[in-house]
Structure 1
Amino acid sequence: MGKVTGFMEFDRVEEGYTPVAERVGHYREFVIGLNTSQAKQQGARCMDCGTPFCNSGCPVNNVIPDFNDLVYRGDWKNAFAVLDSTNNFPEFTGRICPAPCEAACVLNINNDPVGIKSIEHAIIDRAWEEGWVVPRPAKRKTGKRVAVVGAGPAGLAAAQQLARAGHAVTVFEKNDRIGGLLRYGIPDFKLEKQHIDRRVAQMEAEGVTFRTGVLVGALPEDGPGSKVTSLARETVSAEQLQKDYDAVLLTGGAEQSRDLPVPGRDLTGVHFAMELLPQQNRANAGDKVKDAISAKGKHVIVIGGGDTGSDCVGTSNRHGAKSVTQFEVMPMPPEQENKPLVWPYWPIKLRTSSSHEEGAAREFAISTKEFKGEKGKLKSLTTVQVEFKDGKLTEVKGTEKDWPADLVLLAMGFTNPLASVLDAFGIEKDVRGNAKANTDGDNSYATSVDKVFAAGDMRRGQSLVVWAIREGRQAARAVDQFLMGASDLPR
Structure 2
Amino acid sequence: MSDVMHPMPFDQLMDWILSEYHTRGTIFGISRMPRRDPGSARPIFNGRLETPFGPAAGPNTQLAQNLVASYVAGARFFELKTVQKMDGEELAACVNKPCILAGDEGYNCEWSTELTVADARDEYIHAWVACKLLARELGLGDPDGFVFNMSVGYDLEGIKTPKVDGFINDLKDASGTVAFNEAIAWAKANLDRFDNVDETFVDSITPHVSESITESTLHGCPPDEIERIATHLICEKGLNTYIKCNPTLLGYETARGLLDSLGFSYIVFDRHHFDEDLQWADAVPMFQRLAALCRERGLEFGVKLTNTFPVDVTRGELPSEEMYMSGRSLYALTLTLAQRISHEFDGKLRISWSGGADALNIRGLVDAGIWPVTMATTVLKPGGYERFSQIAYAFAQQDCYRFDGVRVAAVDALVEDMHQNARYKKPIKPVPSRHIDQRLPLMDCFTAPCRHDCPIHQDIPGYLRAVEEGRFADALSIVLQRNALPFITGTICPHTCGISCMRNYYEEHVHIREFKLEAARRGLAEVLPELEAAPAVEGKKVAVIGGGPAGLSVASFLSRAGVDVTVFERQKTLGGVVANVIPDFRIAAESIANDIELCRAYGAKFELGTDVRSAQDLLEKGFTDVVVAIGAWAPGHPVIEGAQMLDALEFLQQFKADPASCMLGTDVAVVGAGNTAMDVARAAKRVPGVKNVRLVYRRDRRNMPADEEELALALEDGVEFLELLSPKALEGTTLTCDVMRLGEPDASGRRRPEPTGETREVVATSVIAAVGERVEPSVYKASGVLLDQRGLPEVDDTLQTSVAHVYAVGDCRRGPATVVKAIADAATVTEALCGYDFDFCSASNIEADYDRPLAGRATLTQEVESLVKSRCLGCATACETCCEVCPNRANVAVRVPGLRQRQVVHVDGMCNECGNCAVFCPYEGGRPFRDKLTLFWTREDFDSSHNSGFLPVGEVEGSEYLVRLNGEVATYDVDNPACGLPKAVRLTIVATRDEHPYLFER
Q: Is the pair's TM-score, using the shorter chain for normalization, greater than 0.5?
A: yes
Distance in 2 (CA, whole Å) between partners of 1:103 and 1:126 is: 26
Q: For 1:320-339, what aligned pairs fall within 5 Å after superposition? A: 320=688, 321-333=690-702
Match among 801, 804, 810 for residue 447 of structure 1: 801
Aligned to 2:628: 250
Q: 2:810 matched to 1:456?
A: yes
Q: Deviations over 1:285-334 (max 9, x none)?
A: xxxx9xx4333x42111111111111112211211311111112222318
Answer whether contact 1:301 1:408 (CA < 8 A) is retained. Answer: yes
SS at the partner of 2:482? Answer: coil
Aligned to 1:238: 615
Distance in 2 (CA, whole Å) between partners of 1:247 and 1:276 is: 35
| Pair 282,169 (structure 1): closer, same or farther in 2 beyond 3 Å | farther
Aligned to 1:283: 658
Q: For 1:397-476, what aligned pairs fall within 5 Å after superposition? A: 397-398=757-758, 400-414=759-773, 416-439=774-797, 444-476=798-830
TM-score, length-scaled by structure 2: 0.37
Q: Deviations over 1:82-116 (max 9, x none)?
A: 22222111111111012110100122246422121
| Pair 118,349 (structure 1): closer, same or farther in 2 beyond 3 Å | closer
Aligned to 1:394: 754
Aligned to 1:225: none
Answer whether contact 2:809 2:822 (CA < 8 A) is retained. Answer: yes
Answer whether contact 1:102 1:116 (CA < 8 A) is retained. Answer: yes
Q: Which runs of 5+ in 2 are unaligned?
A: 1-30, 33-381, 392-444, 747-751, 841-1002
Higher relative contact order (CA 8 A, sep 6+): 1
Distance in 2 (CA, whole Å) between partners of 1:142 and 1:349 is: 44
Answer whether contact 2:810 2:823 (CA < 8 A) is retained. Answer: yes
Aligned to 1:140: 535
SS at the partner of 2:786? Answer: coil
| Pair 438,135 (structure 1): closer, same or farther in 2 beyond 3 Å | farther
Answer whether contact 2:532 2:603 (CA < 8 A) is retained. Answer: yes
Letter in 2 for 1:352: L
Q: 2:559 matched to 1:163?
A: yes
> Structure 1 residue 246: deviation in Å?
0.9
Letter in 2 for 1:171: V
Aligned to 2:725: 366
Letter in 1 for 2:618: L
Match among 282, 289, 299 for residue 667 of structure 2: 299
Q: Deviations over 1:223-246 (max 9, x none)?
A: xxxxxxxxxxxxxx4332011211
Distance in 2 (CA, whole Å) between partners of 1:196 and 1:68 is: 22
Distance in 2 (CA, whole Å) between partners of 1:312 and 1:60 is: 28
Q: 2:526 matched to 1:131?
A: yes
| Pair 149,201 (structure 1): closer, same or farther in 2 beyond 3 Å | same
SS at the partner of 2:702? Answer: coil
Match among 622, 626, 637 for residue 259 of structure 1: 637
> Structure 1 residue 205: deviation in Å?
4.2
Distance in 1 (CA, whole Å) between partners of 2:684 and 2:782 is: 37
| Pair 359,158 (structure 1): closer, same or farther in 2 beyond 3 Å | same
Match among 474, 490, 494 for residue 78 of structure 1: 474
SS at the partner of 1:330? Answer: coil
SS at the partner of 2:559? Answer: helix
Greater shift in the superposed pair: 255-264 or 319-328: 255-264
SS at the partner of 1:54? Answer: helix
Answer whether contact 2:668 2:766 (CA < 8 A) is retained. Answer: yes
> Structure 1 residue 347: deviation in Å?
11
Q: Deviations over 1:430-483 (max 9, x none)?
A: 2321111123xxxx11111111111111112221111111111221221224xx
Aligned to 1:57: 453
Letter in 1 for 2:804: D
Aligned to 2:677: 309
Larger Rg: 2
Aligned to 2:958: none
Distance in 1 (CA, whole Å) between partners of 2:824 and 2:526 is: 25
Letter in 2 for 1:434: L
Q: Which runs of 5+ in 1 are unaligned?
A: 11-48, 218-236, 336-345, 374-378, 482-486
Distance in 1 (CA, whole Å) between partners of 2:757 and 2:457 is: 48
Answer whether contact 1:437 1:446 (CA < 8 A) is retained. Answer: yes
Match among 684, 709, 713 for residue 354 of structure 1: 713
SS at the partner of 1:86? Answer: coil
> Structure 1 residue 282: deviation in Å?
2.9
SS at the partner of 1:248? Answer: strand
Letter in 2 for 1:356: L
Match among 512, 517, 522 for residue 116 of structure 1: 512
> Structure 1 residue 386: deviation in Å?
1.2
> Structure 1 residue 181: deviation in Å?
0.7
> Structure 1 residue 389: deviation in Å?
3.2
TM-score, length-scaled by structure 1: 0.74
Letter in 2 for 1:216: V
> Structure 1 residue 422: deviation in Å?
0.7
> Structure 1 residue 367: deviation in Å?
0.3
Distance in 2 (CA, whole Å) between partners of 1:347 and 1:273 is: 15
> Structure 1 residue 264: deviation in Å?
5.0
Letter in 2 for 1:239: Q
Match among 160, 163, 181 for residue 577 of structure 2: 181
SS at the partner of 2:465? Answer: helix
> Structure 1 residue 410: deviation in Å?
0.6
| Pair 350,207 (structure 1): closer, same or farther in 2 beyond 3 Å | closer
| Pair 101,74 (structure 1): closer, same or farther in 2 beyond 3 Å | same
Aligned to 1:69: 465
Q: Deviations over 1:262-300 (max 9, x none)?
A: 25513xxx201111111222338xxxx9xx4333x4211
Q: Deviations over 1:39-76 (max 9, x none)?
A: xxxxxxxxxx9321111111111111222223333333
Distance in 2 (CA, whole Å) between partners of 1:319 and 1:479 is: 46
| Pair 471,134 (structure 1): closer, same or farther in 2 beyond 3 Å | farther
> Structure 1 residue 147: deviation in Å?
0.4
SS at the partner of 1:68? Answer: helix
